[in-house]
Chains A and B, each alone.
With several copies, the nearest count.
Chain A
Amino acid sequence: MESFLNWITANQQIIYIVILMIFVGIEVIGHVPSVLHTPLMSGANAIHGVVIIGAIIVMGKAEHDNYLALILGFLAVVLGTLNVVGGFVVTDRMLEMFKKKKPPQTPPKEGL
């Protein structure tokens, strides 16, 4: 319990960031029309491809004789890139198909 409290105090900024981000994530897509569910899912999929940054760091730090790290890191970079690039391209293709859409039915949102 004591160490839990200490941990919270030590990481309070991160905890705030996480909690606020959860609010943002929920609020931001709260009013999405159902026809956009699939592209939104796909776009979100591309965004979590940000994990590739971890892969780049792993790869870039690997010593030259640590073959396990090199090989796994390389694989991680490839997979992460697949996620990012494929994700954004596929989302763009999906949304391209909505391009003939008339002006949006939903009124333009205020804010942002």
Chain B
Amino acid sequence: MILTICYLIGSVTFILGLKMLSNPATARKGNLVAAAGMTIAIIGTIFLYTDEAGNKLHNYGWIFGGIAIGAIIGTLAAKKVKMTAMPEMVSMFNGMGGACAALISVVEFNHLAFSVTPGWHTILYPPEMIGHVLIIILGLIIGSVSFAGSMIAWGKLNGSVKDFSFKGQHIVNILLLLVILGLAVYLVGWMPANSQLIFYVIFALSLLYGVFFVFPIGGADMPVVISLLNSFTGVAAACGGFLYDNKVMLTGGILVGAAGTLLTILMCKAMNRSLLNVLIGSFGGSAKTGGPAGAKQQGAYKEISLSDTAVVMSYANKVMIVPGYGLAVAQAQHACHELEKLLAEKGVEVKYAIHPVAGRMPGHMNVLLAEADVSYEKLLEMEHANEEFPTTDVVLILGANDVVNPAAKTDPASPIYGMPILDVELAKTVIVNKRSMKPGYAGIENDLFFRPKTSMLFGDAKKVLQDLIGEIKNL
């Protein structure tokens, strides 16, 4: 059938698309290739699918209605979202996929289960369907966990859900998981009379597990968690592929499952951490950032006034701006770009030093500054920036902390030890803007702030930048 060929094309485009997505030069085209394959697979399914008995699909009204609604909302949401809120958006869409997989499982289970008496009791399915039931339940569990987890991750990223954990939570989580699996085995293996009840209990517990799984993980680790949940949803989609013996769902799902898992590991590596470390949250939970770290080594630091900063920067030959998470939080990217233009007018050479894991998602700084129309040529990757620091007069650090922490190079006991950092100390002067002496994501003290070359410029990044622009204009 032609549908087989549609599905084959779909599978191949998914692979090619993903391949192209992993190379900067072809990434955008890769996304379109995958989207084209998806379109072919969807249209093919709608018009060409026939069940074993040769019947075509019906309910076209419902199908097209659903697709239209989804497409419109999806497009609007994706187009409207602020650049910096994109990880939330991805998490949200991922949750939708997980929910979709779970709903499919619910409907298919109800097809197999015949209610003889009203209520939850006396549900039976033909014994030869055992494989089917197993896959349905797997899809249910994985899809629900992915859905609930993604929603919590989404909430954490947009600030509506706070980090939350209690003592022994990991043990509770493991127990919960064991209960879910136990129930699933009981349901599949023993086909009890109250199957349907157990099924919905599994559903509910899976949702709960998804919530509990993500709750204790620090909000800043959400990109890693989203990537992991992403690969879960892939596996849930693959379950659907098994269920309907549908190759494009199977291959697409497994592809994402495998690639997503590896990507999760790669993301952890870029932050110099292990996946386990992220999941059990040995650091990064905001509960800890305030704690002991702040007290460790309160040496003396210098402050610098706004007007002095304005003078120093205006008369420099070369200024390097190091953006970090704080710049994103303060939404100060536009003010930053304005400062850059102002200085450039005055003949100062201004560039940005971009650390690969500055911010809270890979490429965060690129995305942030691109939003403010900073030209790509001004963004230096870490290696290049480190080469240019020795000839730099002033380094202005805007809400970055860990990515300039020398402990990564000098202190083997530090949790970030071994992570490559921006060597801002090679420059003549370092000015650090943040709101307080509080540590950053990794929750550790930063010795840089106490070094002789460094001066602190306290305040919210956006406000400070705006004031600074005013000062420079008045010079």
List the B side residues contacting A85 at CB < 8 Å. Answer: 70-71, 74-75, 78
Pair B367/A97 contact, Cβ less than 8 Å: yes
B195 contacts A by Cβ under 8 Å: no
A9 vs B266: C-alpha distance when bound (angstroms): 35
B9 to chain A, nearest CB (A): 11
A90 vs B78: C-alpha distance when bound (angstroms): 5
List the A side residues contacting B59 at CB < 8 Å. Answer: 59-60, 62, 64, 70, 73
B101 contacts A by Cβ under 8 Å: yes
Q: Which residue of A lies closest to B356 (CB)?
A: A34
List the A side residues contacting B96 at CB < 8 Å. Answer: 79-80, 82-83, 86
Pair B75/A25 contact, Cβ less than 8 Å: no
B270 contacts A by Cβ under 8 Å: yes
B198 contacts A by Cβ under 8 Å: no
Partner of B250 from the list A17, A28, A83 (CB cut-off 8 Å) is A17
User: Total A-B pairs in contact (CB under 8 Å)?
Assistant: 420
B360 to chain A, nearest CB (A): 10
- A109 and B262 in contact, given A12-B8, A85-B78 (Cβ under 8 angstroms): no
Partner of B2 from the list A5, A33, A47, A90 (CB cut-off 8 Å) is A5
Q: Which residue of A lies closest to B110 (CB)?
A: A68
List the B side residues contacting A101 at CB < 8 Å. Answer: 24-25, 376
Interface string of B345-384 (1 = CB under 8 A from A): 0000000000011000111101100110001110000000
A19 to chain B, nearest CB (A): 6
List the B side residues contacting A8 at CB < 8 Å. Answer: 4-5, 8
A77 vs B62: C-alpha distance when bound (angstroms): 9
List the A side residues contacting B38 at CB < 8 Å. Answer: 46-47, 49-50, 84, 88
Interface string of B69-107 (1 = CB under 8 A from A): 111011101110101001101101110110111011011
B43 to chain A, nearest CB (A): 10
B428 contacts A by Cβ under 8 Å: no
- A43 and B86 in contact, given A36-B363, A86-B93 (Cβ under 8 angstroms): no
Pair B367/A94 contact, Cβ less than 8 Å: yes
CB under 8 Å from chain B, chain A span 9-65: 9, 12-26, 28-62, 64
- A44 and B131 in contact, given A73-B62, A93-B78, A106-B23 (Cβ under 8 angstroms): no
- A9 and B1 in contact, given A19-B12, A89-B79 (Cβ under 8 angstroms): yes
B19 contacts A by Cβ under 8 Å: yes
B125 contacts A by Cβ under 8 Å: no
- A86 and B89 in contact, given A47-B17, A77-B67, A98-B24 (Cβ under 8 angstroms): yes
Pair A46/B70 contact, Cβ less than 8 Å: no
Q: Which residue of B lies closest to A81 (CB)?
A: B70
List the A side residues contacting B256 at CB < 8 Å. Answer: 25, 44-45, 47-48
A1 to chain B, nearest CB (A): 10
Pair B97/A83 contact, Cβ less than 8 Å: yes
- State how many residues of chain A have any CB contact under 8 Å with chain B: 98
Q: Which residue of A lies closest to B60 (CB)?
A: A60
A42 vs B229: C-alpha distance when bound (angstroms): 12
Pair B93/A32 contact, Cβ less than 8 Å: no
B394 contacts A by Cβ under 8 Å: no
B22 contacts A by Cβ under 8 Å: yes
Partner of B363 from the list A13, A29, A38, A48 (CB cut-off 8 Å) is A38
B257 contacts A by Cβ under 8 Å: yes
A66 to chain B, nearest CB (A): 8
B183 contacts A by Cβ under 8 Å: no
Pair A48/B250 contact, Cβ less than 8 Å: no
A22 vs B24: C-alpha distance when bound (angstroms): 23
Max chain B CB contacts within 10 Å: which of A15, A53, A96, A108?
Answer: A53
Partner of A28 from the list B62, B87, B244, B259 (CB cut-off 8 Å) is B259
Determine, out of B45-53, B320-328, B403-411, the stretch whose residues face the partner at the interface: B45-53
A interface, CB within 8 angstroms of B: 5, 7-9, 12-26, 28-62, 64, 68-70, 72-106, 108-112
B interface, CB within 8 angstroms of A: 1-2, 4-5, 7-8, 10-12, 14-19, 21-25, 27-28, 30-32, 34-35, 38, 41-42, 45-46, 49, 51, 56-60, 62-63, 65-67, 69-71, 73-75, 77-79, 81, 83, 86-87, 89-90, 92-94, 96-97, 99-101, 103-104, 106-108, 110-111, 131, 223, 226-227, 230-231, 233-234, 236-238, 240-244, 246-260, 262-263, 265-267, 269-270, 356-357, 361-364, 366-367, 370-371, 375-377
A-B contact pairs, 26 of them (CB 8 A): A25-B255, A26-B262, A29-B259, A32-B23, A35-B362, A36-B22, A36-B24, A37-B362, A38-B361, A39-B27, A40-B18, A46-B31, A48-B252, A53-B41, A58-B108, A62-B62, A69-B107, A78-B70, A79-B70, A79-B100, A82-B77, A84-B74, A94-B363, A96-B28, A97-B83, A106-B25
Further pairs besides A54-B241, A87-B74: 15, Cβ < 8 Å: A12-B247, A14-B242, A18-B238, A32-B22, A34-B362, A45-B90, A46-B93, A50-B237, A54-B244, A55-B100, A68-B107, A77-B67, A82-B70, A95-B27, A97-B370
